[in-house]
Chain A
Amino acid sequence: MTFDANVLILITVISAATPLLYAALGELVAERSGVLNLGIEGMMLAGAVTAFAVTVTTGNAMLGIVTGALAGTALALAFGVLTLSLLANQVATGLALTIFGIGLSALVGSGFVGIPVDRLPRLSIAGLTDLPIIGPLLFGHDVLVYLSVLATIGVAWFLKRTRAGMILRAVGESDVSAHSIGYDVIKVRYLAVLFGGAMAGLGGAFLSLSYTPMWVEEMTAGRGWIALALVVFSSWRPGRLFLGAYLFGGVTILQLYAQGFGSFGVPAQVMSMLPYLATILVLAVIAGGPWKGRLDAPACLGKPFRPAT
């Protein structure tokens, strides 16, 4: 394989990792505040279809991205009202959100199947983008790729270095204590859940505007669930999450290229199973491996909280 081909593979790995990174980063923040939202798949699809429909209709991709994030946020708000205000079971509500998101996105998107859209413009800096290898790797992506990296750094900094981040972690570790010293647990969790929705929406927008610039029903193909697994894999740390997303991006691309080369005699479907099997394998290895017992799940993850009045 030539050098250029290797660079090309690395670039596609970045593309495959980006939607996972967005969705998982949002979920990481929600889970650190103590909320388990299983509706990522639904929020991603809402983001994907909204971003696509708005971009096609208005011709403005930026507007598409923003509305995609808002669509994810809107679904997250419904999740928040049910689980945080009405204290519904988080697992059941998350599943409902996914089922609803799949249906709603299919309904909204039914008029947009088969319509082409211009891929998000890629950065092109004279001199820099033309550099061999590092040019296309560092300076040849679209805005959402760069934003995802910035978001990772931002979330890591926020959780570790800021007062607000500390409060968010406190709420996730011990809601009762956080409440008793005067923090508004429900408000913090609402904000974290809404952030998670916006990020899932952005992940979806990246799928329908950049990764495969089109709308297909259920185009997320389980990425929302893989993102959930990634959060466990990362043991709730943004740095490891970044690595995990790129690892899974790599697995996705590996199987695509293997299929391109005739799959080495293995049926294409077996190759397509790889990302899902890898997810299970990774979860099993982490649970049974040297990290066992140090997974550090937020102590209040998934537990409803109602302030005593």
Chain B
Amino acid sequence: MSLKIEARPEISRQLLYVTPLLAVALTVVAGFFIFLFMGYNPLLALYHFFISPVTSLYGLSELALKAAPLIIIAVGLAMGFRANVWNIGAEGQLTIGAIAGGGIALLLWGQEGFWILPLMCLAGILGGMAYAAIPAFLKTRLDVNEILTSLMLTYVATLLLSMLVYGPWKDPQGFGFPQSRMLTDSALLPVIMEGTRLHLGAAIALLVAVAAWIVMTRTVIGFEIKVVGQAPAAAAYAGFDRNRMIWLCLLTSGGLAGLAGLFEVAGPIGQLIPSLTPGYGFTAIIVAFLGRLHPLGIIASGLLMALSYIGGENAQVEVGLPQAVTGVFQGLLLFFLLATDFLTKYRVRYVTLRREVAPA
């Protein structure tokens, strides 16, 4: 008997959707041993990480609140990843979107009007798009790797935000804290569930995912994106413009990241502060892969990743786990997912070696 690995004639559809669950299960098992090793009661820690945060209506609303930006960003990124366009600077585009949209709110501070919020959203989207246009320009004109440029720009965006809230945009009545004024009501997203922080952005996240699903499955653009990613040679033969794809994917993902950034400012935060998110732009990369780059899968994986954030916070309060556990879990989850991907493309078979029988 020996093991033989052979390529499947085509990717296993069932396993494609089973392996994310397997990856989650493996992460939980790994978490059990990590907690045990760190000297915590592993079952209690896992309970406070994965279950107790979502046992109340408020917990569920917080889950949706944190999932919304992840879903919005990941839907855009997934489009690019499908076409082999690697925008990993969503965190930077998010920051610029927040600055642009938040800047409008500060400019119109104290004014009333139904048009203020839509204008902020537009500014957020355009800000994110403009920032993603830099790697797109460099990639299409000079063939500069978009991974490196989009990532470098993230550091620049964070510094720009810090410069603004430590400098000209600092709240004059803020006792010197590096934060802007609190936005007024007409610049804040309406809460859609009373007694919680859940805002309109969560509903828009669902709409974005459904819209992306329609684009990817029902339009020529969606088809082009898939072909460019899966069969570049065929795409070139069919005359699909590679540069147009790069622009499209980067501008879409940048705009969505910008919108997500504005939602944070006009939603739960309510002002500009130096650190807007716990790294949603990066976590969204995991969300995109875990959701199999499929808009509807991303809704599920976005909720799961949101759970890792509120679970981390909850476990910190309840059993004193360090917050960093969240990052370890997220990294492990992506590792396990990539490892189990192997099963969708290859199968392992036992092969019985036939021995030649020596002639008598």
Residues of chain A having any CB pair with chain B under 8 Å: 38, 42, 78, 81-82, 86-89, 91-93, 95-97, 99-104, 106-107, 110, 217, 221-222, 225-226, 228-229, 232, 267, 269-270, 272-273, 276-277, 279-280, 283-284, 287-288, 306, 309
Contacts and interface: CB of A to CB of B under 8 A. Distances in A.
Contacts of B141: 288
Contacts of A309: 4
A280 B338 contact: no
Contact of A280 (B7, B149, B166, B324): B149
Contact of A107 (B4, B147, B149, B324): B324
A276 B153 contact: yes
Given A104-B324, A232-B145, A232-B148, 16 more contacts: A82-B339, A96-B334, A100-B327, A103-B324, A103-B328, A106-B322, A226-B152, A228-B148, A270-B163, A276-B152, A276-B153, A277-B156, A279-B148, A280-B152, A284-B142, A287-B143
B327 to A, nearest CB: 2
Interface stretch (B234-242, B264-272, B282-290): B282-290
13 contacts: A92-B285, A92-B334, A96-B334, A102-B331, A229-B152, A269-B159, A270-B163, A276-B156, A277-B152, A279-B148, A280-B153, A283-B145, A306-B7
Contact of B335 (A38, A87, A89, A96): A96
A306 B5 CA distance: 11
B60 to A, nearest CB: 25
Contacts of B145: 232, 283
Interface in B330-356: 330-332, 334-335, 338-339, 341-342, 345-346
Given A104-B331, A272-B159, A86 B342 contact: yes
Contacts of A225: 148, 151-152
Contacts of B163: 267, 269-270
Nearest to B134: A280
Interface in B274-319: 282-283, 285-286, 289
B86 interface: yes
B323 to A, nearest CB: 8
Nearest to B342: A86
Contacts of B342: 86-88
A95 B328 CA distance: 13
A287 B146 CA distance: 12
Contacts of B149: 280, 283
Closest 7 pairs (CB-CB, A-B):
A103-B327, A100-B331, A106-B324, A269-B163, A96-B334, A88-B338, A103-B328
B325 interface: yes
B331 A287 contact: no
B329 interface: yes
A88 B340 CA distance: 9
Given A267-B163, A280-B138, A95 B285 contact: yes
B167 interface: yes
Contacts of A107: 322, 324-325, 327-328
A99 B330 contact: yes
Contact of A273 (B138, B159, B326, B341): B159
**Residues of A contacting B: mostly:** helix
Given A276-B153, A284-B138, A92 B338 contact: yes
Contacts of A102: 327, 331
Contact of B144 (A86, A92, A269, A283): A283
Interface of B: 4, 7, 86, 88, 134, 138, 141-145, 147-149, 151-153, 155-156, 159-160, 162-163, 166-167, 282-283, 285-286, 289, 322-332, 334-335, 338-339, 341-342, 345-346
B335 A82 contact: yes
A101 B159 CA distance: 23
Contact of A222 (B152, B329, B346): B152
A279 B334 CA distance: 28
Contacts of B148: 225, 228-229, 232, 279-280, 283
Contact of B162 (A269, A276, A283, A284): A269
B54 to A, nearest CB: 22
A287 B155 CA distance: 22
A35 B332 CA distance: 21
A79 to B, nearest CB: 9
Contacts of A226: 152
A288 B160 contact: no
A89 B245 CA distance: 21
A288 B331 CA distance: 36
B223 to A, nearest CB: 22
A225 to B, nearest CB: 5
B152 A279 contact: yes
A81 B159 CA distance: 37
B250 to A, nearest CB: 15
Contacts of A42: 331
Nearest to B141: A288
A273 B283 CA distance: 23
A192 B7 CA distance: 26
A101 B330 CA distance: 11
Contact of B286 (A91, A99, A306): A99
A276 B342 CA distance: 36
Contacts of B326: 103
A23 B145 CA distance: 19
A232 B142 CA distance: 14
